[in-house]
Chains A and B, each alone.
Chain A
Amino acid sequence: MSEERKSVSISGSGKLGGGEYARVSISGSGRIDGDLVAEELRISGSGKVSGRTEAGQIAVSGSAGFGDAVVAEEMRVSGSTRVAGSVEAKELTCSGSFRAEGDVSAEYLKSSGGMRVTGDVESDIFKASGGFEIDGLLSADKVEIHLGGRCSVREIGGEKIHVLRPSSLGGAFLLGLAKILGGGGPAELRATQIEGDEIHLENTIADIVRGKKVGIGPGCKIGTVEYADSLDVDDDASVGKELKV
């Protein structure tokens, strides 16, 4: 590894073979064939990596496509990004549209805009303020969702789970933004199961909610709530069955 890594920049239109680089920057349109290892990858305009990407920092504005898994310390994405594989990043920030065909794991994940994940999402902290669709399990110590469009996830599990509807944030602006970005639909969350220690939900439709301290706020339709310590149900919410366990 003592070999000096090169830096490459593509401006205009260009193609680059995979390999190890210090810094790769694409402005305009660029394509990297094969696996890429880089300290830094910057794409503004349109960029594509056909193989696996491993980078310290990834910054995308515009459109980016990754043909395989992405591993990064920090990944910042605005515009449209599609990963045909899993994503592993310490810090993942996406605004705009983000799509991953696989699992996404991070320590800190913030999504504003539209996020679509076909696998599980894992993060110590998960913050979303747009719409999202997660096919698997969303697991985080802290889940904070400011509903800004249609959100759906199979399951949520964590410690603190807060789902807030737009009004509680004055988020009409965000809702509008999410609609433009393709989130669309009413600002609500749908899930089959939500489990956590401290849960507060608004505008949420779920089959089962289980927790220690549970708050079911306005606009919720919950099949069954199982709680250990306390349960508050708003007048403007419906709960099929309440069970103290």
Chain B
Amino acid sequence: MDEELLISKKDVLEKMGISYGQLYRWKRKGLIPEAWFVRRSTFTGQETFFPQDKILERIARIKEMKDEHPLDDLAQMITTRVNAHLRVAMTKLQRAGWLDDALLRACCTDKAAAEGVSVWQAFVLGVLSRLRRAARDEEIDLVRRTLEREQGKGLLDRVSENGVRIYLLRKCVSGGGISAQISAAALAEEGAVFDPEIEVVETVDLSPILHRIQLELDPDERTARDSGRTTGGNDDGRKGPEDEEVAR
């Protein structure tokens, strides 16, 4: 795994023109994940560093949105939990190249076509569209069901914090003149290892897809944000891979 480029706290403040007070407040409100605060010893003592690209992009986004929205709402918008209530317009999906009639029919109801889809549905569409070329229909469905199993369990939060990937796998089993192929889908953090006989058909890194939705697709479509919000907006800290296998 390659090291992410880090930036010191001092440089973040200077570069983005924000104060200590703002940085600490945003951290408290869950706008900046705890995991991004990387403490390192330097010759001047303990220093805090951040993953450069993530923090700069996040702070730019907070600054841009903070005037229109109260901080507490912002936390929920940015940390995905509320994003579940946002709608993503179809036209935007089309532009992202994620729109596919067959996929759409598999994931969404007809009504969605008119009203736009939820962030979750857009996310699933984004993932499945990456598989379209290599995977068979049944396999696409398998991946969809694997994702959906984790829907209510904070998968989106996990994706935005850790490098979660979905793996589509095939394995050939033969004996007695008969051979069969088994497909499997696995949701795991980066660097999952499979046995040598397994063919990895496709690997999809989930976080770029989610980021794309959060950063490009939603900003002016924040229409149907309803109640049902949870307070706090923090990540729930759950981790761990989840597998599902089927044999055919």
Contact = CB atoms under 8 A, between A and B. Distances in A.
Interface of A: 105, 122, 124, 139-141, 157-160, 192-193, 195-197, 207-208, 210-212, 223-224, 226, 245
A78 to B, nearest CB: 27
Interface stretch (B19-27, B124-132, B159-167): B19-27
B10 interface: yes
B236 to A, nearest CB: 14
B46 interface: yes
A159 B45 CA distance: 22
A159 B10 contact: no
Contacts of B21: 141, 158-160, 196-197
A157 B45 contact: no
A208 B20 CA distance: 14
A159 B27 CA distance: 13
A210 B23 CA distance: 13
B212 interface: no
Contacts of B20: 157-159, 195-197, 210-212
B109 interface: no
18 contacts: A139-B24, A139-B27, A141-B21, A157-B23, A157-B27, A159-B22, A160-B21, A193-B46, A195-B24, A196-B20, A197-B19, A208-B44, A208-B46, A212-B19, A212-B20, A223-B45, A226-B10, A245-B10
Contacts, number: 50
A226 B45 CA distance: 13
B24 A158 contact: yes
Contacts of B28: 105, 122, 124, 139
Interface in B10-61: 10, 19-25, 27-28, 44-46
Contacts of A226: 10
A179 to B, nearest CB: 32
Contact of B44 (A105, A140, A159, A224): A224
Going nearest first, the 6 A-B pairs with the smallest beta carbon separation are A159-B21, A157-B24, A139-B24, A197-B21, A197-B19, A122-B28
Contacts of B22: 159
A195 B46 CA distance: 12
Contacts of B46: 192-193, 207-208
